[in-house]
Amino acid sequence: MTNSLTGKVALVTGGSRGIGAAIVRRLANDGATLAFTYVASAEKATALASEIETAERTPLAIRADSTDPAAVKAAVTQTVERFGRLDILVNNAGILLRGLVDELDLGAFDRIIAVNVRAVFVAGQAALPHMGQGGRIINSGSVAADRSGFPGSSIYSMTKAAVAALTRGLARDLGPRGITVNAIQPGPTETEINRDENLRARLRPMMAIGRMGKDTEVASLVAYLAGPESSFITGAALNIDGGYLA
Mutual angle of helices 106-113 and 154-174, in 10-degree steps: 30
Give Cα 1 distance to the centre of its chain: 21
- pLDDT tens string 8-34: 999 999 999 999 999 999 999 999 999
The β-bridge partners of 222 are none
Is the pLDDT at 156 greater than 80? The verdict is yes
- What is the pLDDT, as a whole number, of residue 127? 98
Question: Is pLDDT at 49 greater than 80 in this prediction?
Answer: yes
Burial of 59 (C-beta count, 10 Å sphere; 0-12/13-18/19+): buried
Calculate the average pLDDT of the chain: 95
Q: What is the pLDDT of residue 33?
A: 98
Euclidean distance between CA atoms 195 and 57, whole angstroms: 33
Q: Is residue 64 within 8 Å of residue 37, measured between CB atoms?
A: yes
Distance in angstroms (rounded) separating the CA atoms of residues 143 and 152? 15
Could you tell me which of 151, 74, 155, 164 has the C-alpha nearest to residue 107? 155
Determine the pLDDT at residue 225. Answer: 98
Q: What is the pTM of this model?
A: 0.96
Give the mean model confidence (pLDDT) for residues 97-115: 94
The pLDDT of residue 2 is above 80 = no
The fraction of the chain above a pLDDT of 90, given in percent, is 90
How does pLDDT run across 66-76, given as a tens digit for each residue? 999 999 999 99
Catalytic residues: 156
How many angstroms separate the most distant Cα atoms in the chain? 54
- pLDDT, residue 195, reads 76
Termini Cα distance of the chain: 33
- What CATH fold (topology level) applies to the domain 9-240? Rossmann fold (3.40.50)
171-227 pLDDT, tens digit per residue, is 999 999 999 999 999 999 998 767 788 888 988 999 999 999 999 999 999 999 999
The beta-strand segments (E) located in the chain are: 9-12, 33-38, 60-63, 88-91, 136-140, 180-186, 189-190, 213-214, 237-240
* CA distance readout (Å), 107 to 67, 103, 217, 226: 12, 11, 34, 34
Q: What DSSP string runs through 131-162?
A: --TT-EEEEE--GGGT---STT-HHHHHHHHH
Look at residue 246 and tell me whether its pLDDT is greater than 80.
Answer: yes
Question: Tell me, what's the pLDDT at 197?
Answer: 83
pLDDT band at 1 (very low <50, low <70, confident <90, very high): low
Nearest to 76 by CA among 47, 37, 28, 112: 37
